[in-house]
């Protein structure tokens, strides 16, 4: 089922993101997380994609394992980086045969540790990927006659590579015109950025569902990593003050981060958010605390299976 349809039927949606494990220990942590979170019956889970091929096969395997051995609905990421059209077609066909319903089409991060020349990529921007997925859909190779639901990224604080916010919105509108039917945002810590982004989308005549991306801070090292990965996330002074007060106490840092994310979620729900997407970092603790504290009833349509 397309995510945009799910949102129309059951908004707000709640979803989680996983990334493919690189080691056996990491795999154990991940599968424990999946077991923990499966009982919450999220509307979907997304699975990230390694740049330059580092975890691509792991992504495909994880997506199919989730699809075939759990009651979760996986949404794989797909990126432009280091791909040609033939490879993308093969991946789409593989996912179609496994009845994967949705794909998140992204530009992708530059691969680290390998030589990379973006000009050699067949797809220069996410819109090129959206167009290929749409053509695949129109060819009728997917068991759903409409093909894949197509998601794209949104940037409430602005895309780091496009400082001109008007041009950025033009690019987003073009992706919607090319076939995107829902948006998942980059993480943010000030809800005013999300509401402003949502309003600017409406002014640009973009009317597809916008899912808010939330990442709870659970450690000071994670906090610093978030700042780097998000390309310069804006941390409100209120959050920085709270973290500074307890930065030498790991448990208090975790509590502060979870409490702040919980406040964000309460406010988003009060302001009619279409959905909340939790960046879990493959751990369930913070997400479970937030989910339980929001008072959201578990979806009843299935009991969790064992992974």
What's the Cα-to-Cα distance from 288 to each of 40, 254, 262, rounded to whole Å? 9, 13, 11
Q: Please give the Cα distance from 234 to 60 (Å, whole number).
A: 33
Location of structure tokens 């992974």 = 307
Residue 134 C-alpha from the chain's centroid: 20
Please indicate whether residue 64 is annotated as part of the active site: no
Distance CA 175, CA 76 (A): 18
Of 17, 38, 157, 168, which one is the catalytic site residue?
A: 17
- Angstrom distance (rounded) from CA 195 to CA 200: 9
For 141-245, where are the E strands, in sequence order?
Answer: 149-154, 182-187, 210-214
DSSP H or E segment with residue 154: strand 149-154
**DSSP state string for 59-110:** HHHHHHHHHHHSS--EEEEEE-TT--HHHHHHHHHHHHHTT--EEEEE--PP
Q: Catalytic amino acids? A: 17
């Amino acid at each position: 089922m397309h995510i945009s349809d799910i949102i129309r039927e059951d908004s707000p949606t709640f979803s989680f993101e996983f990334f493919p494990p690189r080691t056996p220990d990491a795999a154990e942590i991940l599968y424990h997380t999946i077991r923990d979170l499966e009982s919450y019956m999220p509307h979907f889970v997304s699975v990230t994609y390694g740049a330059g091929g580092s975890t691509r096969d792991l992504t495909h395997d994880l997506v199919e394992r989730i699809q075939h051995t759990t009651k979760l609905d996986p949404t794989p990421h797909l990126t432009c980086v280091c791909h040609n059209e033939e490879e993308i077609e093969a991946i789409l066909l593989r996912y179609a045969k496994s009845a994967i319903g949705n794909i998140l089409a992204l530009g992708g991060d530059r691969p680290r540790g390998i030589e990379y020349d973006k000009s050699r990529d067949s797809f220069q921007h996410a819109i090129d990927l959206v167009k290929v997925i749409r053509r695949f859909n129109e060819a009728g190779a997917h068991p759903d006659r409409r093909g894949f639901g197509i998601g794209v990224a949104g940037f409430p604080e602005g895309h780091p590579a496009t400082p001109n916010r008007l041009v950025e919105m033009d690019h987003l509108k073009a992706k919607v015109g090319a076939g995107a039917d829902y948006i998942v945002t980059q993480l943010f810590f000030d809800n005013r950025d999300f509401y402003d982004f949502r309003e600017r989308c409406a002014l640009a005549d973009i009317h597809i569902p916008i899912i808010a991306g939330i990442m709870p801070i659970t450690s000071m090292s994670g906090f610093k990593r978030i700042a780097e990965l998000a390309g310069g996330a804006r941390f409100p002074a209120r959050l920085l003050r709270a973290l500074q007060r307890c930065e030498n106490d790991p448990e208090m840092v975790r509590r502060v981060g979870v409490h702040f994310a919980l406040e964000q979620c309460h406010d988003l729900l009060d302001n009619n958010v279409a959905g909340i997407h939790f960046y879990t970092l493959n751990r369930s603790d913070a997400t479970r605390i937030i989910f339980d504290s929001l008072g959201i009833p578990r979806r009843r349509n299935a009991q969790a299976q064992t992974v």
